Amino acid sequence: MVQRLEGRVAVVTGGGSGIGLATVRRFASEGAKVVVADVDPNAGKAAADEVGGLFVQVDVTDEEQVKALFQTTVDTYGKLDIAFNNAGISPPDDDSILTTGIEAWERVQKVNLTSVYLCCKYAIPHMQTNGKGSIINTASFVATMGAATSQISYTASKGGVLAMSRELGVQFAREGIRVNALSPGPVNTLLLRELFAKDPERAARRLVHVPLGRFAEPEEIAAAVAFLASDDSSFMTASNFLVDGGIAGAYVTPL
Ligand SMILES: NC(=O)c1ccc[n+]([C@@H]2O[C@H](COP(=O)([O-])OP(=O)(O)OC[C@H]3O[C@@H](n4cnc5c(N)ncnc54)[C@H](O)[C@@H]3O)[C@@H](O)[C@H]2O)c1
What average pLDDT does range 236-252 have in this prediction? 97
Higher pLDDT, 191 or 89: 89
- Point out which residues pair with 140 in neighbouring strands: none
CB 95 within 8 A of CB 151: yes
Residue whose C-alpha is closest to residue 253's, from 216, 217, 204, 219: 204
Radius of gyration of the chain from Cα atoms? 18
Tell me: pLDDT of 1 over 90.
no
Active site residues: 154
144 domain residue, yes or no: yes
251 domain residue, yes or no: no
Query: 64-122: per-residue pLDDT in tens?
Result: 999 999 999 999 999 999 999 999 999 999 999 999 999 999 999 999 999 999 999 99
- Locate the ligand 1 atom nearest the alpha carbon of residue 110 and give its number: 31
**Mutation choice for ligand 1 from 12, 19, 116, CB with most ligand atoms inside 8 A:** 19
Q: Is there an atom of ligand 1 within 6 Å of 140 CB?
A: yes
The per-residue pLDDT for 192 is 81
4 domain residue, yes or no: no
Question: What is the spatial distance between Cα 117 and Cα 165, in angstroms, rounded to a whole number?
Answer: 9
pTM of the entire structure? 0.98
3 domain residue, yes or no: no
50 domain residue, yes or no: yes
Domain containing residue 134: CATH number: 3.40.50.720
The per-residue pLDDT for 231 is 98
156 domain residue, yes or no: yes
1 domain residue, yes or no: no
Query: 113-160: per-residue pLDDT in tens?
Result: 999 999 999 999 999 999 999 999 999 999 999 999 999 999 999 999
The per-residue pLDDT for 140 is 98
Total number of domains in the chain? 1
Domain extent, residue 182, equals 9-242
The per-residue pLDDT for 196 is 82
250 domain residue, yes or no: no
